[in-house]
Structure 1
Amino acid sequence: MRTKTTLLAAILLISSTIWAKPTPEEGKTIFSTRCAGCHNVNKVLTGPALAGVDQRHTIEWIVNFVHSSQTVVKSGDKAAVALFEKFNRIPMPDHPDLTDDNIKSIVEYIKSESAGAAKQAVAVKDVDKPSESLSSFFSPGIILTFVVLFALLVTTILFAVRVKSLEREILKKKG
């Protein structure tokens, strides 16, 4: 039984990580706590405005820059050096603890905020739309996770019922 439980736990963990993709919601949380002190999506602050950053640089470049901006600057990367010079040689703090997916979720948040600002600029009247958060709730990874959890619950209940019936049989034989 322990092997089955371990196997189910491993499947659950793997399914949640395989199907998980960076979300703007996660990115917003990280952006608010780690980036907003120096950056804004649409305004220049201590650092550059980040709207369109995914169009100016590859995701690999962004990940490397966020992990260690000075490493990228010291490598002679022209875009990194230009940013460093433009913002008065103020280095961006390194964030080596952020995973690639954390950084990608920040980029997803920036893209969603940029799109939201563009919609407001055009002054398009908001129409009630189905919530995207509901559709992301039904992603394959989430569904698989619930199926695995349900299977684990059913297995546990069946195991408990079997143990109880064996206990009754033993008591009948003794008594």
Structure 2
Amino acid sequence: MSKFYDFTPTDNTGKPFPFADLKGKVVLVVNTASKCGFTKQYAELEQIYEKYKDQGFVIVGFPCNQFGHQEPGSAEEIATFCKVNFGVTFPLMKKIDVNGTNADPIYVWLKDQKPGLLGFKGIKWNFEKFLINKKGEVFQRYSSVKTPGNISEDIEKLLKQ
């Protein structure tokens, strides 16, 4: 069984969010920020979540303030911003670090499983994405510039497996 299912991050309300509950689903893990040039991707993320959620697809957003301090808000402020501006209904976790000595264990694992360009493991910016298959394996890593709509083909492929 994949180590992915061993992780239990904390959601933005302070409750445990066991990844074990995601077994058999296709999951997109994204580090997010509310004051970033890529913030508009929240809208596309919500669109693909709505399109595929009934087929076993989940998006898990991890707010992060490590890139240009573009996620300064509290958990409540972040949730309100996402809901009001983009209608976000997919799960949001508590704010975390994705790089460095305080990096959340899920991101340490994700980066080890699928290093980026030229083997670089670090997350380069907000809205970097990891697509996880139904077995809990990292299928693909996408840079911030790869929009959510442009990975629909990969999502559909994994949902059919």
Given the two structures, how large is their TM-score scaled by the length of structure 2? 0.27
When Rg is computed on C-alpha atoms for both structures, the one with the higher figure is: 1
Which protein is richer in strand relative to its size?
Answer: 2
Normalised by the size of structure 1, how large is the TM-score? 0.26
